Structure 1
Amino acid sequence: MSDMTFERMIQQMTPAIYESLKQAVSLRKWPDGRFLTPEQTELCLEAVMRYEMENGVPEQARVGYLEQRTCGGASSGADVPPERAGLARDASHD
């Protein structure tokens, strides 16, 4: 019987295995094309997240990272690039 635990698996995970699991979660399928089950997706995602935490992956490079932006009254919109400025305009008057 194997004494491999989830914790030990994370500790022994290589960067190549991490990247492979991260890609599998992103595509929802294994490198050979077989689809991940919901349970496999959940376990792989947990493994990826644990690896990132335990190996000091920068927050901006972690799975699921979203850049925080201000909204509402605190946002002046001054940092919005011109090509995106019209995205929220009211198109009903066009």
Structure 2
Amino acid sequence: MTFDKMIETMTPEVYQSLRRAVELGKWPNGERLTQEQRETSLRAVIAYEHKHQVSEEQRVGYIDRTRPDGKQHGSDPLQPQVLKILTDG
């Protein structure tokens, strides 16, 4: 079975299980994921979320930067940053 075919046939339950395994670093039976298993599982989770158009807020790795007043925390990571160099004298 190809990776793409696996994503097509993945059930929501399998997706949730893989997502949880990636988050915890271990399978439901308690066995730790190898680095390769974690990377492959994360790829599968991201591909599933893309294929099934999971909302941005529900995707793995999403960080809510909204303050209670509606403004954003921090700066836009895609914008250049200005550095100030302070000198004595």
TM-score w.r.t. structure 1 length? 0.69
**Which structure would you say has the larger Rg?**
1
1:70 Cα deviation from its structure 2 partner: 4.2
| Structure 1 counterpart of 2:38 | 41
Question: In the TM superposition, what whole-angstrom CA distance separates every residue of 1:2-49 from its partner, at most 9, and x where no partner exists?
Answer: xx0000000000000000000000110001111000000000000000
Moved segments of 4+, more than 6 Å: none
Looking at secondary structure, tell me which structure has more helix per residue: 1
Specify every segment of 5 or more residues in structure 2 that has no aligned partner in the other structure, as ranges.
66-71, 76-89
Partners of 1:29 and 1:19 in 2: CA distance: 13
Partner of 1:30: 27
Tell me which amino acid in the other structure corresponds to 2:18.
L
Query: How many residues end up aligned between the 2 structures?
Result: 69
Name the residue aligned to 1:66: 63
Q: Taking every aligned residue pair, what percent have the same amino acid on both sides? A: 49
Tell me the residue number matched to 1:21.
18
